[in-house]
Structure 1
Amino acid sequence: MFILNEYNKDIGNRIKELRELSDITISDFAEEMNIDEELYEKYETGEVDIPASFVYELANKFQVDLGLLLTGEETRMSIFDVTRADKGITISRRKEYAYENLCDKFKNKKAEMFIVTVDPEEDSVPSLNTHAGQEFNYILEGSMKLYIHNNEIILNEGDSVIFDASHRHAMSALNGQKAKFLAMIM
C-alpha cells in the first residue's frame, strides 16, 4: 500500500507534466474536463485524493496507459502481463473504496481491470461519480448496493452488472461486511 499523500503528489506531478507538455492552461484544462479549477489544482498538487475514475479519464485524454500515471513507469508488456495474487498496484483513491489495479504493465489495453473492496459505511448513500465509458462489475464476495441513475440495485456474490459510467453511480457494502468485486472500465 502506498502512503497516500506522497502517492497523490506523484500522480499530481505526472498529470501536471502531461498538461504542460500539451501546452494547456489549468483554467482551460479544468473547463475541458468539466471540473472546478480550484479542485483540479488540488489534484495536481496532491492536496486531495484523485478519484480513480478521473485518473482513468486523464489517461485517455493524454493517450497514455493508466499504469504510467499510477506508477510513473511506461507500460512495456505486449503479449501478456501476469499480476500475482495481492500484488497489483494498490490505490486508496476514495474513502469508500480500495482499488487494486490488475494490469498496470500491459500496453494498449482496451480496458482497465481492478479488484475493488468496499468497506461498510454508516452513510446511507456514498458519494456519486461519473467517468467516460462503460463499467462491468462482478461480485466476488459479499453483497453491495449499486446506485445508478435514480436506481438502487442489490448485487450478491456471483452477480454481475454492466452500465454506462457517464451516469452518476456509487457502490456501498451491505450487511455490515465488506464487498469485493472485479471492475472492468472500458
Structure 2
Amino acid sequence: MSLPSTFDRDISRRIKDLRDALDITPDELAKRVGCTPEEITNYESGSGEVPVSYLYALAKATGVDLTALITGSEAKLHQYCLVKKNQGLAVTRRKAYKYQALAYRFNRPSMEPFLVTVPPREREELEFNHHAGEEFIYLLEGRLELLLGKDVVVMNPHDSLYFSSTIPHAMRGLDGKEALFLDVIN
C-alpha cells in the first residue's frame, strides 16, 4: 500500500475542518452521508484515499461545493460550464479507477458527471463501494463488468445502467483492456 499523497492529506484535512466547522460528530455525519463513523474517522485521518462517492455525499449533505472539497476553492460558474476534451479535473481519489470531474467549474451542481477509466483486473482484486444516491453509467469504450451485490452485469459500448448506489458495487475492464464510461452521480 502506497503512502497518501499531499493531495490526499489536503482533502482529508478539508473534510475534517468542514465537520469541525459545522460542529457535527462523526456519528451525526455518518447518518447524513450513509456510511459508518469509523469510515469518516478513517477518511479524515489522512492515512488513505477518500472515495469520490464519499466526497459527493459529503458535499450534498453539507451544502458545500464538491470542487471546494477537492481543490480548496469553490467553482465560480452559474450559467454553464464547458469542459474541453481531456480538460476535466483529474480526481485521483480511488487507485482502482481514474476519474475526470466534468462539472468542476459549475457552482453547486445538482449532479456530478465524471469520465471514468477502469483498468482490467482479476475479480479477486475488486473493492466494493457503496454510498447514498443513484448512479448512471454510459459505456463509451471497452467492455465493463459490474458486480452489483450478488448480480453480475456486463456492458458493451453504448449500453447504459442506472442503479441505486446503496448496492455494494465494484467494476473492472474486460478482455484485458480498460473500460471508459460517463458516470453521473446524484
Tell me whether 85-94 or 119-128 shows the greater mean CA deviation. 119-128
Residue 35 of structure 1: aligned partner: 36
Looking at structure 2, the residues matched to 9 and 108 of structure 1 have their Cα atoms a distance apart, in angstroms, of 23
Aligned ranges 1:64-75 → 2 under 5 Å: 64-75=64-75
CA distance in 2, matches of 1:175, 1:106: 36
Matching residue's letter, 1:41? T
2:148 is matched with 148
Structure 1, unaligned runs of 5 or more: none
2:177 maps to 1:177: yes
For 2:107 and 2:23, locate their aligned partners in 1 and report how far apart those are by CA, in whole Å: 25
The answer on 1:157 being equivalent to 2:185 is: no
* Cα distance in structure 2, aligned partners of 1:125 and 1:135: 22
Q: Name the CA distance, whole Å, in 2 between partners of 1:121 and 1:79.
A: 40
Name the counterpart of 2:101.
101
CA distance in 1, matches of 2:76, 2:86: 21
Per-residue CA deviation, residues 71-109 of structure 1 (Å, 9 max, x unaligned), is 111121011111121111112222221111011121231
Q: Deviations over 1:124-169 (max 9, x none)?
A: 4611111111100000100011111311011011111111111111
Alignment of 1:11-160 (within 5 A): 11-26=11-26, 28-30=28-30, 33=33, 34-37=35-38, 39-124=39-124, 126-160=126-160
State the shift of 1:170 in Å. 1.4
* Code of the aligned partner of 2:159: D
TM-superposed CA distance for 1:36, in Å, is 4.6
Query: How far off is 1:111 after superposition?
Result: 0.6
Aligned 8 A contact 2:32 2:61 in 1: no
User: How far did residue 31 of structure 1 move?
Assistant: 6.5
Report % sequence identity. Answer: 36
When normalised by structure 1's length, the TM-score is 0.90
Whole-angstrom distance in 2 between the partners of 1:161 and 1:50: 24
Report if aligned partners of 1:4, 1:92 keep a CA contact under 8 Å in 2.
no
Q: CA deviation at 1:42?
A: 3.3
Aligned residues: 183
Offset of residue 4 of structure 1: 5.7
The answer as to whether partners of 1:91 and 1:98 remain within 8 angstroms in 2 is yes
Whether the aligned pair in 2 keeps the contact of 1:5 and 1:47 (CA below 8 Å) is: no
Q: Is the 8 A contact 2:115 2:180 kept in 1?
A: yes
TM-score by length of 2: 0.90
**Residue type of the alignment partner of 1:35:** T
CA distance in 2 between counterparts of 1:26 and 1:134 reads 23
CA distance in 2, matches of 1:87, 1:17: 29
Query: Which residues of structure 2 form unaligned runs of 5+?
Result: none
C-alpha RMSD of the superposition: 1.9
